[in-house]
A and B are shown apart, each in its own frame.
Chain A
Amino acid sequence: MEELDLLKKDWKRNENKFPRVSEQEIYAMLHKNSTSVVKWIFLISIFEFAFFLALTLLLNDNTGTTKMESYLNDYTMIAITIIDYGIMVYFFCQFYINYKKITTTDKVKNLMSSILKTRKSVSNYIFVKISFIVILLIAMFILYFNNEPEMISTRHIAEEKGKVAMLYLVYFAAVTISVAVFAGMVWLFYRLIYGLLLKRLRKNYNELKKIDF
């Protein structure tokens, strides 16, 4: 006898032996909070958008940026601001559209793929945003190097001593390291949060893909 058919026999026999949940208990459940993965992904994603929005607003206001602004003309500043908010709005719309597509009445595989897509749009946002910040940072350091009076005088001293190459090397090494550390930390942070959240989902999704090659 086939193993599973034996199990089926027992499955049917015990169908009605579960402890009954009363209507009152069901009512109570409806008002409890869901702990679903999607809910967490949604909350964290909203937090991410908020965080980067706050960062944009804060950066606009600090003395370092004001100094940088003085090296740039107005048009460049406006362009940077437009690109910055443009990125945010574009990705937020994408995120929202994908999120709306998540429905529990979909096929299992489709549901998984829409969750992963939603997540993907946010991680793309983070990636673009980080790249944008890194590019701005590098531009800032270059501008600082070329325009800041203090920096210029240091360069003159170095030139007199014949150590310009050394100065360039140290300065750019410092810039590279600080940018890399910043980007690395953000990356690690995301790996940790979503690694934990999406591990099981990814595993199951790959399993389904394997079946349906």
Chain B
Amino acid sequence: MGSELERSFVQQLQENQNLIHKICRLYTDGEDAHKDLFQEITIQLWKAFPQFRGDSKFTTWAYRVGLNTAITLYRKKTKSINTIEFDGKLHKIDQDEYNYEEEEHIKLLYQAVQQLNDIEKALVFMYLEDKDYSEIAETLGISEVNARVKMNRIKGKLKTILNP
């Protein structure tokens, strides 16, 4: 059953699987949901693979399919968003002082990002992946200027979540 194609796909995916894990990290908040989304992205990539011609890099192509799946196609099975939000609030209570450990700070940052909406997460994801604004704009289908404006707003929003 197209085993040559299948083998080449599985191999490339295996090598580049971190990319999918990273998308899952931002869009899910538990081990089960992570695995679930990972599987759905894998299925969507496989379905789109025959159209992948190799004129772009496997990763660039996979970014698109992965983000499209996370934002548009994927259906969350359980909603556990509330617990995260609650957690975030709990942490905020004892953060009167501005000096906490870096690790703690990063944990809070992740929680803040989790509170963003799906589109904002996509922008953050691509920013973290060192994509430039033209690529972010191209992937999402918006203009570069607007991508830049939105990114600045997200930075502001994260600041407010962290320092209410």
Which residues of A line the B interface, CB within 8 A?
2-4, 6-8, 10-11, 15-16, 18, 20-23, 26-27, 29-30, 32-38, 40, 103-112, 115, 200-201, 203-204, 207-208, 211-213
Contact = CB atoms under 8 A, between A and B. Distances in A.
A204 B119 contact: yes
A208 B61 contact: no
Nearest to A9: B106
- What are the 6 closest A-B residue pairs judged by CB atoms, nearest first? A109-B141, A107-B141, A18-B21, A36-B73, A212-B142, A104-B65
Nearest to A33: B43
Contacts of B64: 104-108
Contacts of B65: 104-105
A112 B10 contact: no
B68 A108 contact: yes
Nearest to B119: A207
B150 to A, nearest CB: 5
Given A21-B14, A108-B67, A110-B141, A10 B106 contact: yes
A108 to B, nearest CB: 5
A105 B39 contact: no
A23 B8 CA distance: 11
Given A4-B128, A111-B72, A105 B40 contact: no
A23 B11 contact: yes
Contact of B159 (A3, A8, A37, A107): A3
A43 to B, nearest CB: 13
B29 interface: no
A194 B51 CA distance: 30
B117 A207 contact: yes
A109 B46 contact: no
A212 B143 contact: yes
A199 to B, nearest CB: 10
A111 B68 contact: yes
Contact of A208 (B119, B127, B130): B119
Given A23-B11, A212-B142, A104 B69 contact: yes
A107 B67 CA distance: 10
Interface string B48-65: 100110000000010011
A208 B110 CA distance: 22
B115 interface: no
A191 B112 CA distance: 33
Given A104-B48, A211-B142, A211-B146, A37 B72 contact: yes
A37 B106 contact: no
B39 A29 contact: yes
Given A8-B128, A108-B71, 20 more contacts: A6-B105, A6-B109, A15-B18, A18-B21, A18-B22, A26-B42, A29-B38, A34-B44, A34-B47, A104-B45, A104-B64, A106-B64, A106-B141, A108-B139, A108-B140, A108-B141, A203-B117, A207-B120, A212-B141, A212-B146
